[in-house]
Amino acid sequence: MAFSIRLTDEEKRLADSYAKVHAISVGEAFKRALFERIEDEYDITVAEEAYEDYVKSGKKSRPIEELWKELDL
């Protein structure tokens, strides 16, 4: 799938500069940025759901020092 976006001259210069520094095309730079953002938001959602499950479970965390003591470390 192909698409186009409108950039200001300043945005285009920045995108071109970024792509040049990383030796990739501007299209590849935008593609990478898009998918990194999607992955980051997915990871945040999964972490929030896991934390919510943890809180609902009623389990409590404890200081790492307690674990070390249990393990004689």
pLDDT in tens, 18-49: 999 999 999 999 999 999 999 999 999 999 99
**Average pLDDT value over all residues in the chain:** 96
Q: Where are the domains of the chain?
A: 9-58
Average pLDDT score over residue span 1-20: 96
Please, which residues have CB within 8 angstroms of residue 22's CB and are 6 or more apart in sequence? 29
DSSP string covering 27-65: HHHHHHHHHHHHHHHHHHHHHHHHHHHHHHHT-----HH
**Which of the four pLDDT bands, split at 50, 70 and 90, describes residue 1?**
confident
